[in-house]
Structure 1
Amino acid sequence: MSETVATPESAPRLPRAFWALWVCQLVNRLGSFVQPFLVLYLTQDRHLSAGTAGAVAAAVGAGSVISQLVGGWVSDRFGRRRTMLIGFLGTAAALILLGSARSMETIWAAAFVVGLLGDMFRPAVSATVADLLQPKERVRAYGLLFWAINLGFSVSTVSAGVLASVGYSLLFWINAGTSVVAALVIWRMVPETRPVSSDGSRRPLLPVALRDTTFLLMILLQVGYATIYFQGYSTLPLAMAGDRLSSSTYGLVIALNGVVIVVVQPFVNRRLATFDRPKLLASSMLIVGLGFGLGAVVHSWWGYALSVVVWTIGEIGFAAVIGAVFADLAPADLRGGYMGLAGSMSFGLGSVIGPLLGTNALEHAGPTATWLACAALGAVIYVGQLALAPALHRRAELNALAEVA
């Protein structure tokens, strides 16, 4: 990967509004108690069947599929700040309703709204970072947001178990409370950054995005990446069980993902900002594919742990640069919509395709073929991303010139 002339030491200070967004990401993840414990709450506290509880959890997922798409569209039409406030405050209200609901109709509706509003803020945050910062500063900023998310999630997964032993209702109220705190931070410290066109008009998102071949190819590559990534939460536990490793061992192994991110990210973040973005993205996705590919030759807990560490290193590079690449690619007036489409289409589709392909491949072709297929797919998207790099560079230059003008 070629490097730019920028050095970590020359990196400018990030603005106050960015750090407010960083606090929001951290606080939001620190209070993310409900979704991991939702099925347990519904079966143990509401005495629903496992199938019904799973279906309610799926309702949250159904809302999440369109959440970022809606959030991106709203942020372009009505403003980034307003979208974040609606998302955080609406999520707080929906969580309280879900925690107090007694009828199944109310539980279903509240669960869907939690999913719908819970991720609305993401494209608005990504677009605001791109609005606030120059292109050369964005990789470092997105990397810091990624670190805040993982730091908060690491703490919340430990504390949620303790709080759940006191009472599930406490999880709903604290989760809602952290959403309100995040909204207050946005209200007091984050200005509106949405670009305003000279004539006040707004282009429709889908006609522009669906004609953008470079954007659509990027989405296709990210679906491939997400297909590999979600093997860690679907196929990996089954493969480890096939090697006579317990579910608790899987829990410890997958926990390394968060630990490595929290420990390593701060030390490499500024350095990652100096690399060519499309090439770093391509290399990171290849590392993730090869990390999962190690599953073809390992059968012990430490072998799987090594695999997780390798693909987590790739994930760190991917997460630091992917937001900046899409920000460079998106037209300024449709930045939120592009971010929302990217999130909902790539990871939304990948979260469905990945588990289906992986578990069926494991059942019918066996673990060795499944993990080698992950490595092969990583190599394919690596080549595809490198081939797309010139188009991404041209688009970034054109958009930078348009913003200056």
Structure 2
Amino acid sequence: MPARLSGAGALDTWRATPPAARALLAGTFVNRLGGFLQVFAILYMADRGFSDTQAAFALGAYGAGSIGGMLVGGWLSDLLGGRRTIVVSMACTAGLLLGVYYLGPYPAKIVLIALTGAVGQAYRPASASMLSDLVPPERRLMVFAMNRLAVNLGATALPLAGVALASVSYGLLFWGEALAAISYAVIAGVALPRRPASVPAPGPASSPGAGAETSPELAAAPALGPAAPPARGRTMLGDRPYLLFLAALLLHSVVYVQYLSTLPLAIRDHHMPVVVYAVLISVNGVFVITCELLVTRLVQGRPPRLAILGGMALTGLGMTLYAPPWGVAGMIVATLVWTLGEMAGAPSMYFAYPAQAGRGGHQGRYLGAANAMFGLANSLGPILGVAAWTAFGDGVWLLCGVTTVAAMTLARHGVHAGAGADRLDRGLVS
């Protein structure tokens, strides 16, 4: 591996990251820190006197809106640009949040919660697309890992901040999240360029000042080498390899989210204390926050297909290791294995590879579709996992292994053939 890639650690990358990209990372952290609605929706609805079923339906409406929002957000990012999409998304989210709190009728709340999920998630593909445009190809994977770190840090602090605010008033939760959204909108409006210049690619193809007049969507194209065909004129629905990759991503994500639904049931039915589940979740969170940037430093520079397949394999293996009756120690080992898979593969499969595959005017749509697969898995995964646990018991973990093999098979064909992946690999390490 070239020394300039193998030595590109988090600090080196941060120093080399332009101020606009740093602003995006800061805005992502602030916005995630204020993401109270999704976490406290059920408690808030119950506090307002609605039934458990009505509260659960409200959370489902938020999830459904989020899936559509990421798809539409990707399209808007390509059409309007990332800066405008983020500003509009965050400003509208603030208004919708206050509407959810102050409007009393249940139907109105459900509609506004669904709209909040949609509008509030529309920024994600726009933010990822802009990050891809603002940093050079050899730094992108590390920057996307930093983006995940910002999300995870915000998510870690969010419950504590939410409990503190809710103990005073649920109104503070909604005003706090609205303030976080407005803060991100201000950061985006002030710190982000209207049309970021493309980053010159390494190698002889780049020249001083190259790309200054190029549209931001074409920023990644030089990294793929002159032989890579432009994506302009090609629609995502006509990109069969990428559709295979999306199918693989959906299957993989369904396996991944089983730690949220099936794992707690397994711990309960095996007569283990609830604290075991808390320990496993804490193990995952601590290692992701403290080690993901280190793992990304080792992964960057390798072919994206290797990172994606390796991440899927480790995730599936970790879930399968829950099947044997190895006790708490075995479950901790299994958690460490799939956590390593998450750290190794997630920055590539959800961000870096979709951004490269959608070069030439479709980055936002490609990124939005990839993130929508994770959102869809969050909705389908718990339902499928609980049904499989009821039917097969610990056999569900073996089913996770089989599903992972299917996901890897699809990814092997989709990533290998899609968007000139071999040329992409050479471009990243040239």
Letter in 2 for 1:377: T
Matches within 5 A, 1:130-169: 130-169=132-171
Deviation at 1:383, TM superposition (A): 4.2
User: Cα gap change, 1:276/1:207 in structure 2, threshold over 3 Å: closer, same or farther?
Assistant: closer
The alignment status of 1:290 with 2:288, answered yes or no, reads no
> 1:82 — aligned with what?
84
Residue from 30, 33, 36 that aligns with 1:33: 36
Letter in 2 for 1:165: S
Residue from 164, 173, 176 that aligns with 2:175: 173
Deviation at 1:254, TM superposition (A): 1.8
The alignment status of 1:303 with 2:330, answered yes or no, reads yes
Cα RMSD for the two superposed structures: 2.6
Structure 1 stretches lacking a partner, 5+ long: none
Cα distance between partner residues in 1 of 2:54 and 2:402: 38
Contact residue 135 and residue 324 of structure 1 kept, 8 A: no
Cα deviations by residue, 1:162-185 (Å, 9 ceiling, x for unpaired): 322222111111111111111111
The alignment status of 1:373 with 2:399, answered yes or no, reads yes
Task: Tell me which moved more, 51-60 or 391-400.
Answer: 391-400
> 2:130 — aligned with what?
128
SS at match of 1:102: coil
Contact residue 358 and residue 419 of structure 2 kept, 8 A: no
Cα distance between partner residues in 2 of 1:177 and 1:396: 44
Structure 2 stretches lacking a partner, 5+ long: 197-214, 219-229
Deviation at 1:205, TM superposition (A): 9.9
Contact residue 244 and residue 413 of structure 2 kept, 8 A: no
Residue from 248, 258, 262 that aligns with 1:221: 248
Deviation at 1:245, TM superposition (A): 2.4
User: Cα gap change, 1:76/1:102 in structure 2, threshold over 3 Å: closer, same or farther?
Assistant: same
Contact residue 243 and residue 299 of structure 1 kept, 8 A: no
The alignment status of 1:342 with 2:377, answered yes or no, reads no
User: Cα gap change, 1:204/1:14 in structure 2, threshold over 3 Å: closer, same or farther?
Assistant: closer
Cα distance between partner residues in 1 of 2:111 and 2:149: 32
Contact residue 240 and residue 299 of structure 1 kept, 8 A: no
Task: Tell me which moved more, 3-12 or 34-43.
Answer: 3-12
TM-score for the superposition, normalised by structure 2: 0.84
Cα distance between partner residues in 2 of 1:157 and 1:306: 26
Cα deviations by residue, 1:27-72 (Å, 9 ceiling, x for unpaired): 111112221111111112x111111111111211121120101101
> 2:5 — aligned with what?
7
SS at match of 2:49: coil
Task: Tell me which moved more, 6-15 or 169-178.
Answer: 6-15
User: Cα gap change, 1:65/1:293 in structure 2, threshold over 3 Å: closer, same or farther?
Assistant: same
Residue from 354, 357, 360 that aligns with 1:329: 357
> 1:316 — aligned with what?
343
User: Cα gap change, 1:340/1:400 in structure 2, threshold over 3 Å: closer, same or farther?
Assistant: farther
User: Cα gap change, 1:305/1:166 in structure 2, threshold over 3 Å: closer, same or farther?
Assistant: farther
TM-score for the superposition, normalised by structure 1: 0.89
> 2:304 — aligned with what?
277
Letter in 2 for 1:88: M
> 2:293 — aligned with what?
266
> 2:75 — aligned with what?
73
Deviation at 1:334, TM superposition (A): 1.3
Residue from 175, 188, 191 that aligns with 1:189: 191
Deviation at 1:384, TM superposition (A): 3.9
SS at match of 1:297: coil
Letter in 1 for 2:397: W
Task: Tell me which moved more, 297-306 or 149-158.
Answer: 297-306
Deviation at 1:8, TM superposition (A): 3.5
Cα distance between partner residues in 1 of 2:40 and 2:371: 24
Contact residue 416 and residue 422 of structure 2 kept, 8 A: no
The alignment status of 1:390 with 2:419, answered yes or no, reads no
Identity of aligned residues (%): 29
Letter in 2 for 1:17: A
Cα distance between partner residues in 1 of 2:26 and 2:237: 34
User: Cα gap change, 1:154/1:327 in structure 2, threshold over 3 Å: closer, same or farther?
Assistant: same
Cα deviations by residue, 1:60-116 (Å, 9 ceiling, x for unpaired): 112112010110111111121111011111111111111222122321222111111
Letter in 2 for 1:375: G
> 2:108 — aligned with what?
106
Cα deviations by residue, 1:332-387 (Å, 9 ceiling, x for unpaired): 2111111112222x2233223322322122111121x1111212322333344344
Cα distance between partner residues in 1 of 2:233 and 2:88: 23
Deviation at 1:139, TM superposition (A): 0.6
Task: Tell me which moved more, 134-143 or 115-124.
Answer: 134-143
Letter in 2 for 1:37: F
Cα distance between partner residues in 2 of 1:352 and 1:22: 27
Letter in 2 for 1:234: S
Task: Tell me which moved more, 381-390 or 277-286.
Answer: 381-390
User: Cα gap change, 1:400/1:334 in structure 2, threshold over 3 Å: closer, same or farther?
Assistant: farther
Cα distance between partner residues in 1 of 2:284 and 2:415: 28
> 2:45 — aligned with what?
42
Letter in 2 for 1:380: A
